[in-house]
């Protein structure tokens, strides 16, 4: 039942170097070769820069010695076009991670490119000391997408900087210090925001983020409570659920934990509470329905400010709504955003109410001229129906990946909304223990060899993160799912061979 096949071609026009052969079960896979990549009518320029070995040498000698590269042989990317990436050898990859959930409308989108080139020919930079109409036009159109009274915007350059500013705003407005965030939360890695970020590899053995406290993440798959009706997703966890139609027991249990944090770890009055509508770096973790609404109420009873971190969930990626907080039926006091706001351009923003912007917070802020790119990224989302595409294609992808969960014992959970998806890998579904990192690494590498780039996340790096540009199509999704399925089959057969 087994046939030896080679992973050599990546697409109709592009080839990968012959990396080696792998065993695959033709009976299970139903294919005599690996999944065929959808066509692409874009031809990349010829790579004419540093050699691959020279790039590795420069990186070793002069760049930070942090082991961030995903693969044993790091990818040297050369060019991008919409949902596609090309490496220095011309090999093509379907990018299902979009620069860590950053490129919203597609790599080098022609419309955004044209606007950027026009603006660069007119004016590169200005600040709050001078006015330039694209900034004001973008501010007005972006704020029209947010409910009252969120009508004052501060432009900054990154998600970390946006959350830095939101922390300062919350403390200045309340004249309090204590801030709360979830375990597993990622809100940036600046010295200030590291206090809010509760993912081990990002923490440092130095004091940072004074006055920040963590609380239990209401994770209905890995946490102590949760079941098959708890989250707002087309795909639910397979854990049994004892919730009644109008009463989620998991939500109530996690709220009791949140109350315990409020009663023991912070002062009677607090500065605020930060929450991602869906946790990104922690592996697309979703909370029980109704949890954030109740948590916001409890925070406000303590005179705290409620902050929604929309860096990864905003700008239509979740499909059903433009902002992630809308999926929870809540109204934050402050909203932070970045990444998708400028389609990868270093741009971010903090939106709040006039009272919080102009009250006790009187610091004078500069901002760069960034409005033009943000304006046209937003316009492309609307013109090309990319939010609707996120809903339709993302739901289709979730459902197809859920079929793999039902097929493979090591796929513990599939979750998400729209085009923000997590696939949590486990040793077995009953125990829910994370799949060992070396095994996750091999599956990740096999996907890359077949032309698919996906992300990683979770406390144990056990969750694959899928968040492609919102221009992705159903044929692209079919290819991605079949590649992942093929990688899982290869992994299970390697396991069987090792145990035989």
- pLDDT exceeds cutoff 90 at 223: yes
Q: In this predicted model, which residue has the larger pLDDT, 31 or 20?
A: 31
Segment 368-413, tens digit of pLDDT: 545 666 777 888 999 999 999 999 999 999 999 999 999 999 999 9
For the chain, the maximum distance between any two Cα atoms, rounded to a whole number of angstroms, is 72
DSSP lists the bridge partners of residue 79 as: 86
- How far from chain centre, in Å, is Cα 147? 24
Q: In this predicted model, which residue has the larger pLDDT, 3 or 271?
A: 271
- pLDDT exceeds cutoff 90 at 207: no
pLDDT band at 74 (very low <50, low <70, confident <90, very high): very high
CA-CA-CA-CA torsion for 97, 394, 308, 141, nearest 10 degrees? 100
CA-CA-CA-CA torsion for 41, 42, 46, 49, nearest 10 degrees? -150
Instruction: CATH 3.90.1150.10 in the chain: give the residue spans.
Output: 38-96+386-499
pLDDT band at 2 (very low <50, low <70, confident <90, very high): very low
The encoded tokens of residue 362 equal 């009187």
- pLDDT exceeds cutoff 50 at 126: yes
CB distance 316 to 310 below 8 Å = no
Closest Cα partner for 111 from 469, 313, 381, 470?
A: 381
Report how far residue 145's alpha carbon sits from residue 458's, in angstroms, rounded to the nearest whole number: 31
pLDDT of residue 107: 97
Segment 271-315, tens digit of pLDDT: 999 999 999 999 999 999 999 999 999 999 999 999 999 999 999
pLDDT of residue 360: 56
Say how many CA atoms lie within 13 Å of 279 toward its Cβ: 29
Report how far residue 188's alpha carbon sits from residue 166's, in angstroms, rounded to the nearest whole number: 12
pLDDT of residue 82: 97
Segment 321-377, tens digit of pLDDT: 999 999 999 999 999 999 888 898 888 999 999 987 765 555 555 555 456 667 778
pLDDT of residue 120: 85
CA-CA-CA-CA torsion for 172, 174, 178, 184, nearest 10 degrees? -80
Strand ranges in 62-124 using DSSP code E only, listed in sequence order: 77-81, 84-87, 92-95
Most confident region among 112-121, 168-177, 209-218, 472-481 by mean pLDDT: 472-481
Q: In this predicted model, which residue has the larger pLDDT, 491 or 125?
A: 491
The encoded tokens of residue 437 equal 């990192």
- pLDDT exceeds cutoff 80 at 57: yes
- pLDDT exceeds cutoff 60 at 478: yes
Report how far residue 92's alpha carbon sits from residue 449's, in angstroms, rounded to the nearest whole number: 10
pLDDT band at 4 (very low <50, low <70, confident <90, very high): very low
Report how far residue 266's alpha carbon sits from residue 194's, in angstroms, rounded to the nearest whole number: 18
- How far from chain centre, in Å, is Cα 341? 14
Percentage of the chain lying above the pLDDT 90 cut: 72
* Bond preceding residue 149 cis, omega within 30 of 0: yes
Instruction: CATH 3.40.640.10 in the chain: give the residue spans.
Output: 112-383
CATH numeric code, 112-383: 3.40.640.10
- pLDDT exceeds cutoff 70 at 435: yes
Q: What is the mean pLDDT of the chain?
A: 89
Q: How many CB atoms lie within 10 A of CB 1?
A: 6
- pLDDT exceeds cutoff 50 at 27: no
CA quadruple 58, 61, 62, 63: dihedral sign: positive
- pLDDT exceeds cutoff 60 at 489: yes
Residue 69 buriedness (CB in 10 A; 0-12 / 13-18 / 19+): exposed
- pLDDT exceeds cutoff 70 at 32: no
CB distance 220 to 230 below 8 Å = yes
- The structure's pTM equals 0.91
DSSP category for residue 44: P
pLDDT of residue 362: 55
Residue 298 buriedness (CB in 10 A; 0-12 / 13-18 / 19+): middle
Closest Cα partner for 142 from 315, 395, 260?
A: 315
CA angle 92, 95, 100 (to 5 degrees): 140
Helix (H) or strand (E) holding 422: strand 420-425
Closest Cα partner for 397 from 235, 287, 238?
A: 235
* Residues written for the chain: 500
Helix (H) or strand (E) holding 116: helix 110-120
Report how far residue 485's alpha carbon sits from residue 21's, in angstroms, rounded to the nearest whole number: 17
Range 38-96+386-499 classified under CATH 3.90.1150.10: yes
């Amino acid at each position: 039942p087994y046939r030896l096949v080679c992973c050599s071609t990546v697409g109709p026009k592009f080839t990968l170097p012959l990396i080696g052969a792998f065993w695959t079960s033709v009976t299970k896979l139903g294919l005599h070769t690996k999944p065929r990549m959808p066509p692409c009518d874009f031809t990349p320029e010829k790579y004419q820069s540093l050699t691959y070995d020279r790039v590795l040498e420069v990186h070793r000698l002069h760049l930070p010695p942090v082991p961030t590269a995903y693969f044993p042989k790091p990818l040297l990317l050369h060019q991008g076009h919409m949902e596609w990436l090309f490496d220095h050898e011309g090999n093509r990859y379907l990018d299902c991670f979009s620069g860590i959930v950053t490129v919203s409308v597609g790599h080098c989108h022609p419309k955004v490119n044209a606007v950027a080139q026009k603006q660069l020919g007119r004016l590169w930079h200005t600040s709050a000391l001078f006015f330039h109409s694209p900034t004001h036009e973008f501010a007005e159109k972006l704020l029209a997408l947010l409910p009252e009274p969120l009508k004052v915007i501060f432009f900054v350059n990154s998600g970390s900087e946006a959350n830095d500013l939101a922390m300062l705003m919350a403390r200045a407005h309340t004249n309090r210090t204590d801030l709360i965030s979830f375990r597993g939360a990622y809100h940036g890695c600046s010295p200030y925001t590291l206090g809010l970020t509760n993912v081990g590899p990002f923490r440092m053995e130095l004091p940072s983020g004074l006055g920040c406290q963590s609380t239990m993440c209401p994770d209905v798959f890995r946490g102590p409570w949760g079941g098959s009706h708890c989250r707002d997703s087309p795909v639910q966890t397979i854990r049994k659920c004892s919730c009644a139609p109008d009463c989620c027991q998991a939500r109530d249990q996690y709220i009791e934990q949140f109350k315990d944090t409020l009663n023991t770890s912070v002062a009677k009055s607090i500065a605020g509470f930060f929450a991602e509508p869906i946790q990104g770096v922690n592996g697309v973790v979703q909370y029980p329905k109704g949890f954030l609404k109740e948590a916001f109420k409890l925070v406000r009873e303590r005179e705290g400010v409620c902050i929604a971190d929309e860096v990864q969930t905003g700008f239509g990626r979740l499909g059903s709504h433009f902002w992630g907080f809308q999926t929870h039926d809540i109204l934050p006091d402050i909203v932070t955003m970045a990444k998708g706001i400028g389609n990868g351009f270093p741009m971010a923003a903090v939106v709040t109410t006039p009272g919080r912007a102009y009250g006790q917070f009187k610091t004078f802020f500069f901002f760069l001229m960034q409005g033009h790119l943000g304006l046209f990224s937003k316009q492309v989302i609307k013109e090309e129906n990319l939010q609707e595409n996120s809903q339709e294609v993302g739901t289709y992808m979730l459902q197809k990946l859920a079929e793999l969960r039902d097929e493979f014992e090591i796929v513990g959970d599939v979750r998400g909304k729209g085009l923000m998806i997590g696939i949590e890998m486990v040793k077995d579904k009953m125990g829910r223990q994370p799949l060992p990192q070396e095994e996750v690494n091999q599956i990740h590498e096999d996907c890359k060899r077949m032309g698919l780039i996906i992300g990683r996340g979770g406390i144990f790096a056990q969750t694959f993160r899928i968040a492609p540009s919102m221009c992705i199509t159903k044929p692209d999704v079919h290819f991605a799912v079949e590649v992942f399925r093929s990688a899982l089959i290869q992994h299970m057969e390697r396991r069987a061979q090792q145990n035989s």
